[in-house]
Amino acid sequence: MDSVLPNSERKRPWNHNPDLWCPLLLLFSWALFFSDPLFSSSNFYFRDILNFHYPLRKVLIDSYASGEFPLWNPYIFLGQPLLANPNYLAFYPTNLFHLFVPFDYAFKLHFLIHPLLGGLGCYFLQRRLGLEARPAFAGSLIYQFSGPVLSFLNLYTIAPAVALLPWAGWSFLRALQANGWTDKLLFGAILGLQIVSFEPLMFQCIALLLAGLGVLHILESVDRRKAAGRILWTGLTGAAFGLALGALQVIPTLELLPLSARISGYDYSIQSRWSMHAADFLNLIVPNLFGNPYTVYRVTYWGERYHDMREPYLVSFFVGTVTVLFGCLSALSARRKLKLTAFGIVLLSSLLAVGKFNPMYHWFYQHVPVFRLGRYPSKYFLIATLALAILAALGLEVLLSAREASSSRKRRIRAFGLGGLVVAAIFIGFWLCMEQSPEFLGGLIRANLPPGLATSKDFPWIASQLMSSTRSAGVFLLLSSGFILASPLFTRQVLLPVLAVSIAGAELMSSNMSLTPLISAADVGFVSEVNLYLQKSGLARPYRVVSLDSLRSVSPPLQLPSSNRSWAWFTYFFRMTGQPMYGIM
């Protein structure tokens, strides 16, 4: 592996060590981006966060607080197993937050900590792969604030994967390069954390990443047979230790599994639902392409036709024009084996993410049983996001050496910059044209919606949002392309990475700020109306809470005023009525 740091970096004093300052900068940018939930009482709520996971977490923590082992939840129907249900994450380390801070704050820390850990893991993975500190920092910033990573914050039990994925890669490479057992046990411990979360598809993502890193290790080894044996031994010992650590969760879950719908695997129509549509690839560079899905009946969103008549499972695939352009520039990188491995991971994970739109995916479903356990193929794009961040870092490395490059190499760099300018001109031209005729754009959007949905949509708002997103993509692509063209002219090389990181960070943080909607503390910590009613009437006879199906209809009979559009109204209603009342899924 070419992961040995240059001697100049090894000899730096601690206060000039980039491996200290870059993580601190990641921490600062994380605190800035998440300042609202970090420094206020607001909390996350979207989808199942408050309606499902919040009460489960409450039961779990109350069980620990009373000195009981978390075996049983008596509050759902006539009681259900607690420990055996992975949705509780009974042994996940973020439970320790509840020892030090109030319940609601500890609950949201579970979401907040994982993007930071993911960014740090991405940084040290790239350093282990031999990248310089400045490009590695840019890649980790891209990963930390990318749309797919932030989309996972709407998914309580899957959020850990955004952190565990890069750290699993880092610990795997570390174990391959070391001779002691300590590194192999560390690798196994990280695998054990993913096993505890019991998310089959995310474990497949980790396996895919490790396979790619294993191939890279073999390609860069002199004795490839010995390298293959080392990979096999490291993988087996790490997996064995991880399974041993996760046995407390795995064994009860396997005992409960025959009572679950997952025992026979999902039907293909369910398993392949929420596949990544081809239109989502445009969302890689155009932020908020389909509008705002966080509204009641999605009145400011128009992507139902592409996402099974709902919002996408990952509400954003946006990684930024800077990321994609720098990723393309990595084609000029001298690290041929690394860039080919990263590109292969992007390609393979994208083919898996498109799911039912890939003819081969159904074959995998039929002939590879493990594919039937997980669902929603768009999750696979998380690993593509990590690989894209690494490719973008390689592209920045190319720019950092542009001044000393040969004339032919400089011409190729300029060609990428000119290509970016052409695409930027297309985006800006589209925006200028649509500014003159927004009704025409609204008509195009209406044509992409089933007739039953069009009656409730706010087309002026959607068209305005799409024009703003297109303008943003064009402007940032223009800036990054100009940056590439000017890079050989920079006399002070220290400015290059600073400007690159600033442009990439500004694009991602400004566009993705809305991906994690919040709700006030007053709407989190209250006693539901159904519980107040039961307290007054007593428990002389059993009661059942009935869902109002009209609230789940595809579209409302009339348009909702803008002040009443937030998805938080759904969350509030379901919590006030004590719903949902399901447990084992």
% of the chain at pLDDT higher than 70: 86
User: How many Å apart are CA 8 and CA 11, to the nearest integer?
Assistant: 5
For the chain, what is the radius of gyration of the CA atoms?
Answer: 25
396 contact partners, CB below 8 Å, separation of at least 6: 134, 135, 138, 139, 326, 496, 497, 500
CA distance 285 to 319: 6
**Pair of tokens at residue 549:** 């199906």
CA 158 from chain center: how many Å?
Answer: 9
Q: Considering the chain, what is the average pLDDT of its residues?
A: 87
Per-residue CA distances from 116 to 41, 119, 164, 438, 550 (Å): 20, 5, 11, 39, 40
**pLDDT value at residue 547:** 47
Per-residue pLDDT, averaged over 413-433, amounts to 95
The pLDDT confidence band at residue 540, using thresholds 50, 70 and 90, is low
pLDDT at 577 over 80: no
Each residue's pLDDT tens digit, 350-399? 999 999 999 999 999 998 888 887 889 999 999 999 999 999 999 999 99
* Other beta carbons within 10 Å of 250: 19
- pLDDT greater than 50 at residue 548: no
CB 523 within 8 A of CB 41: no
Gap between the Cα atoms of 216 and 228, Å rounded: 11
Model-level pTM greater than 0.75? Answer: yes
In the chain, the percentage of residues whose pLDDT exceeds 90 is 61
In this prediction, residue 584 has a pLDDT band, given cuts at 50, 70 and 90, of: very low
Higher pLDDT, 2 or 268: 268
Residue 525 identity: G
Tens digit of each residue's pLDDT (9 = 90 or more) over 35-64: 999 999 999 988 888 888 888 899 999 999
Judge residue 582's burial from the number of C-beta atoms within 10 Å of its C-beta, 0-12 exposed, 13-18 middle, 19 or more buried.
Answer: exposed
Tell me the pLDDT tens digit for each residue of 442-455: 889 988 888 778 88
Mean pLDDT value of segment 318-331: 96
Average pLDDT over residues 492-502: 83
Alpha helix (H) ranges present in 368-512? 381-400, 407-436, 438-447, 451-454, 459-486, 495-512
Grouping H, G, I as helix, E, B as strand and the rest as coil, residue 72 is strand
What are the angstrom distances between the C-alpha of 12 and each of 16, 17, 18, 190?
6, 6, 9, 30
Q: Are 471 and 511 in contact (CB under 8 A)?
A: no
- Cis peptide bond upstream of 580, omega within 30: yes
Spatial distance between the Cα atoms of 512 and 508, rounded to a whole number of angstroms: 6
Q: Do 347 and 391 form a contact (C-beta atoms < 8 A)?
A: no
Distance, CA of 156 to CA of 57 (rounded, Å)? 10
Region for residue 163 given its phi and psi (left: phi exceeds 0; alpha: psi -120 to 50; beta: otherwise): alpha
552 or 578, which is more confident: 578
For 168-214, how does the pLDDT look when each residue is reduced to its tens digit (9 = 90+)? 999 999 999 887 889 999 999 999 999 998 888 999 999 999 999 99
Measured between alpha carbons, how far is 352 from 372 in angstroms, rounded to an integer?
A: 13
Average pLDDT value for residue range 294-317: 90
**Confidence at 506, pLDDT banded by 50, 70, 90:** very high
